[in-house]
Structure 1
Amino acid sequence: MPRKVDHQERRTLIADALMRVAASGGIEAVSLRHVAAEAGVTAGMVQHYFATKDEMMRFALGVVMERTTARIEAAMAALPQPVAPTAMVRTLLHALLPLDEPRRADGRVALAFLAYSAVEPAAARLLSAGTRQMAQHLAEQIRLARPDADAEATAVALLATMEGLGIYLLGGHFRAEEAVRALDAHLDLVFPG
């Protein structure tokens, strides 16, 4: 009896290979041939699941977004209930920083996708939707803790601060402890006391 193929599992195997290639060599290193070699499959198999590089890239971006969401949800679930808005914001931003090797690998891929989104409108729409949703969630929490604040602008500033620190971490400019201290100092300005 022929073995049943799990197509989602194969697509994820290919997406994981794409992310390893992108993390080590950047988006420009991603090709059907390189991804196939990294996944240990044929280029024909990759083409069976993804007709174009762009389709493969969008799928991999979705996988990165799912992993990030799962990491955030796990961090939030570990908080004592009920969660104060300030704790929620701090935990969310800390979960997004590339502070350990798995998050650094995802961070390198996310950074590569950010560059890719500058020239690929479909990727830009995916990233923009996720970023806007995150900013909106942060703004809601800020509004609960600081009704007097410009919640939307503060949320964007916090995301930009976290992203900037993430880029510096990925480049090895700062150690994880320094980035956490800087982010916490900024959060203390947003949420005094």
Structure 2
Amino acid sequence: MPKRVDHEHRRQQIAAAVRRIAAERGLEGVSLNEVAAEAGISKGFVQHYFASRDDMLRHAATTLRGGIEERIAAARPDGEPGVRDLLVALLPLDDAARDDALVANAFLVRALKDPEIAGHFRTGHGQLRDVVAAMLAASRDDGDLVATVDPPAEAVLLLALVSGLGDAVLLGYQTGEEAIALVDLHLSRITAAPGKAGWASSGRTVASAAETS
């Protein structure tokens, strides 16, 4: 019988090669030839799945969330992560997270001129914002947050905070520890009482918030 080919696996293999090159050299280093060499396959094999460099980049842009989702899940292996765990997972605190951030930034520049990639960014950010907002709303309803917190607006502020802090860590003018401390400082300002600070890590979970968003 002929060997069965897992086409989605092949596409993911190529996307992973794109991400590795982008982390090291930016998207300017990504070409069909370079990706083929990085993936250990022929250029013709790459072209079998992607007719052009643009098609390849657009597909790779859809795979950027994988590393973040893995870090969020790993934050609390014995339970569901809370909002603080989610925010910290977005920071480039280790080599893998740093590479993910570098790749995301490279694609962000590309998105400014590519509406399809820009759409992927908007969709991903919107989903993340909605999850954080749902987690915050549940914690506010439980009395863990100050009553004046506006969950949708606060979610936007928190994601903007970690985005800026992530860039600061990448550029070296904040350490990872300093970035986490600033996240904690902000969360403490919206906590209803010092004794209820645990809501940020073990209150409404990512999974349960997603079910209600």
TM-score by length of 2: 0.80
SS of the aligned residue for 2:149 comes to coil
Structure 1 CA distance, aligned partners of 2:35 and 2:190?
Answer: 43
How many residue pairs get aligned? The number is: 187
Structure 1 CA distance, aligned partners of 2:76 and 2:56?
Answer: 30
Residues 1-193 of structure 1 correspond to what in structure 2 (within 5 A)? Answer: 2-75=2-75, 77-79=77-79, 88-146=82-140, 147-192=147-192, 193=194
Q: Deviations over 1:141-189 (max 9, x none)?
A: 2222234312211110100000111111122222211111111111212
Give 1:142's aligned amino acid.
Answer: L
Give 2:161's aligned amino acid.
Answer: T
| Pairwise CA distance, 1:34 | 1.6
- Structure 1 stretches (4+) deviating beyond 4 angstroms? none
Structure 2 CA distance, aligned partners of 1:76 and 1:60?
Answer: 28
Structure 2 CA distance, aligned partners of 1:111 and 1:128?
Answer: 14
Structure 1 CA distance, aligned partners of 2:127 and 2:148?
Answer: 22
8 A Cα contact 1:145 1:191, kept in partner: no
8 A Cα contact 2:67 2:97, kept in partner: no
Structure 1 CA distance, aligned partners of 2:74 and 2:125?
Answer: 19
Give 2:23's aligned amino acid.
Answer: A
Alpha-carbon RMSD across the aligned residues, in angstroms, is 1.9
Q: Percent identity, aligned pairs only?
A: 43
Structure 1 CA distance, aligned partners of 2:177 and 2:115?
Answer: 36
Give 2:84's aligned amino acid.
Answer: R
Gapped regions of structure 2 (runs ≥ 5): 141-146, 195-213
TM-score by length of 1: 0.87
Give 1:163's aligned amino acid.
Answer: S
| Pairwise CA distance, 1:121 | 0.6
